[in-house]
Amino acid sequence: MSQFPATARNTVNRLPKRAQYDSETIYSILDEGLICHAAFVQEGQPFVIPSLYGRFENNLLLHGAKASRMIRHIQDGGQVSVAVSLLDGLVIARSVFHHSVNYRSVVLFGRGRLVDDKEEKLNFLRVITEHILPGRWADARKPSRKEMNATAVVAITIESATAKIRTGPPGDDEEDYQLPVWAGVLPLRQQVLDPIPDPLLKVDVPVPGYVSGYRRGSGEKGQAS
C-alpha cells in the first residue's frame, strides 16, 4: 500500500497542510517510535493504554498478558485507534499564542486478531524485540513454552492512518516580528546514555555492540519489515 485513503475517520481538518497519508512516511514514524498509545472503548468506558510495539508490513504488533483488557478487546475484533508521537523541538514564538512544537505523529485505525500460530507468534515476538533493540533476539534466551503460554500477541491490520508533521520556525503575526523578544526553535532528541550493567552480571560478559552503539533517530529504523 503506497497511500492510505483519506476518509472521514482519518482526514486532518485542522491544519491539513501538515497531514501526509503515504505509507512510507507513516511507516518511518512507526519504525522510529518506541511507545504507542492504544485507545478503545469497552462497555461504554474509554481507555488509553501505553505499550511497546512492533510493525510487520501493514500490521502493528502488540503483546501482553492474556488477561489484559487491551489484548482481550483487540483479539475479539474490537476497533482500536493507536497513536505514536515523536517530539523534535520546542517552537518558541514572540507571542504566547503561537508557541508550538515540531513533531512527527501517526494516528492509525484498525481491527486486530489474536496470533495463535506458534511460528507466527514467535516471529512477531522477534519483530517486537528487534524493533526495541535491533540485534537482541539472536543473543537472548528465547521464550519458554510456559512464557509463550502466558503471553498473547495481537496483530492490528492498519485500515487507515494519517501522519501529521510540523517543522520549521515559529509563525508569528506580522506586527509581532518587530518585538524585541527572542524567537526560534529549541531542538529536542532522545539521548542514549552509558549502559548500566546488571549487578548480577558475570564480570566477563562484554557489552554488545548493539547496546553500546545504540542509536534511534530520524531515518533509523527500529526493525526491518
**Tens of pLDDT, residues 57-107:** 999 999 999 999 999 999 999 999 999 999 999 999 999 999 999 999 999
Per-residue CA distances from 41 to 57, 121, 123, 156, 182 (Å): 26, 26, 29, 16, 44
User: What is the structure's pLDDT at 218?
Assistant: 55
Our CA angle for 99, 51, 120, nearest 5°, is 135
In the predicted structure, residue 221 carries a pLDDT above the cut 80: no
Please report which helix (H) or strand (E) contains residue 165, including its range. Answer: strand 151-166
Q: Are 70 and 38 spatial neighbours (Cβ–Cβ below 8 Å)?
A: yes
Other beta carbons within 10 Å of 155: 23
Residue 93, φ and ψ in degrees, nearest 5 = -95, 175
Q: Which three cell numbers stand for residue 52?
A: 511497546
CB within 8 A of 69, min separation 6: which ones?
Answer: 42, 47, 49
Give me the CATH topology for the region 16-212.
Answer: Pnp Oxidase; Chain A (2.30.110)
Cα–Cα dist 59/111, whole Å: 10
pTM score > 0.85 for this model? yes
User: What is the structure's pLDDT at 225?
Assistant: 29
pLDDT, average across residues 191-209 = 94
